[in-house]
Amino acid sequence: MYKYKLLDELLGKDGRYSFKRDGLLSECCTFKIGGAADYIIYPNSADALIKLITVLCDNEIRHTVFGNGSNVLFPDDGYRGVVVFTRYLNDIVIKNDLLCVHSGTLLTLAAVSAFKAGLKGIEFAYGIPGSCGGAVYMNAGAFGGQMSDIVIAGSYYDPAERKIVEINDKDHHFGYRRSLFTGTDLIIITSSFKLQQDDPASIKERMDINMRHRVKNQPLEYPSAGSIFKRYPGYYTSKLIEEAGLKGKQIGRAQVSTKHAGFIVNLGGATASDVLCLINIIKETVYKKYSINIECEIKLI
Ligand SMILES: Cc1cc2nc3c(=O)[nH]c(=O)nc-3n(C[C@H](O)[C@H](O)[C@H](O)COP(=O)(O)OP(=O)(O)OC[C@H]3O[C@@H](n4cnc5c(N)ncnc54)[C@H](O)[C@@H]3O)c2cc1C
């Protein structure tokens, strides 16, 4: 039987999905790199997401789940299977000092909503171009804050057990750029952030300072996936890369940013092979100079 028959039936009769067959992954990620996936699907609710995952699992269809695609390098030859994006799961509910989101909610939107409600604590995430689910997955952080500082509860879908599980802050097992979810098939559905009341003008000022810092120090004028490498304990990786003389190093149309050596930028038309080649050169050069193995922060599929 044609392996996508039941998926086609679901997409044909159920209006809760935006989707593309043979859609380009380069159009769905901030790096603007990646070939076609058999299907790219955006469910518009948590129920629709779970229904979709059930159909994919029942029919043994290869699939993977992303938020906003801002921390990933998709392959040049695309993905034989289904790439699901949670971007349209974007409800926000504020109750006293709790901000509760669905996983596709953009971090920046969550930070703006908190500011408007006079709640502080999530300013650090303003300007990170990811979803809340993607941020919880990897315990995203900036300016001295990280998701583990504010996450107090959440829920995920476990496809193997076919159930939604509610968890508290400790159950997330956060570490540096990792969590309970790292490397698993669990799908984050909701997260609740514990914030504190503050004067909106002060919150806005801190958000603006963070944004000015990003604009000044990050190559936002080019497509990228943010910092390519994790920090090595005790070192700033971007500094190591810069001191190894790699700032501006270019392979094809991929370049170690001349503004921030922790970023690889797409100068226009870069391929995943260009980026991977550059990543290998950086790793080898840093290893030769410092005997340090730096690890990728971005997801490679
Ligand atoms: C210009 C720029 C600046 C950046 N600055 C920062 C920064 O300051 N700090 C920082 O930490 N990061 C930064 N990033 C990286 C990135 O934005 C963050 O890591 C962000 O949290 C990723 O979210 P996302 O939704 O885009 O994740 P995606 O790229 O979509 O996914 C990343 C990983 O999370 C998993 N995932 C996503 N959603 C779910 C879900 N609902 N359930 C289970 N798994 C899920 C995916 O499977 C994948 O493994 C930056 C990126 C760019 C391009």
Are 236 and 294 in a shared domain? yes
Domain shared by 96 and 196, yes or no: yes
Q: Any catalytic annotation for residue 227?
A: yes
How many domains does the structure of the chain reveal?
3
What does the pLDDT read at residue 295?
A: 95
Say what the pTM is: 0.97
Name the domain boundary from 149, 169, 202.
202
Backbone angles phi, psi at 177, to 5 degrees: 55, 35
- Does residue 27 have an active-site annotation? no
Pair (273, 241) in one structural domain: yes
Any domain includes 214:
no
Give the pLDDT confidence score for residue 301 in this predicted structure. Answer: 87
Q: Decide if 297 is catalytic.
A: yes
Choice from 88, 105, 137 to test ligand 1 binding pocket (greatest atom count within 8 A of CB) = 137
State the first-to-last Cα distance of the chain, in angstroms, to the nearest integer.
27
CA 178 to ligand 1 center in whole angstroms: 11
How would you classify residue 182: left for phi > 0, otherwise alpha for psi between -120 and 50, otherwise beta? Answer: beta
Same-domain check for residues 137 and 158: yes
* Three-state secondary structure of 263-301: EEEECCCCCHHHHHHHHHHHHHHHHHHHCCCCCECCEEC
Tell me which residue range forms the domain holding 255: 219-300
pLDDT tens digit at each of 301 positions of the chain: 788 999 999 999 999 999 999 999 999 999 999 999 999 999 999 999 999 999 999 999 999 999 999 999 999 999 999 999 999 999 999 999 999 999 999 999 999 999 999 999 999 999 999 999 999 999 999 999 999 999 999 999 999 999 999 999 999 999 999 999 999 999 999 999 999 999 999 999 999 999 999 999 999 999 999 999 999 999 999 999 999 999 999 999 999 999 999 999 999 999 999 999 999 999 999 999 999 999 999 999 8
Domain boundary (147, 177, 202) is at 202
pLDDT in the model for residue 2: 86
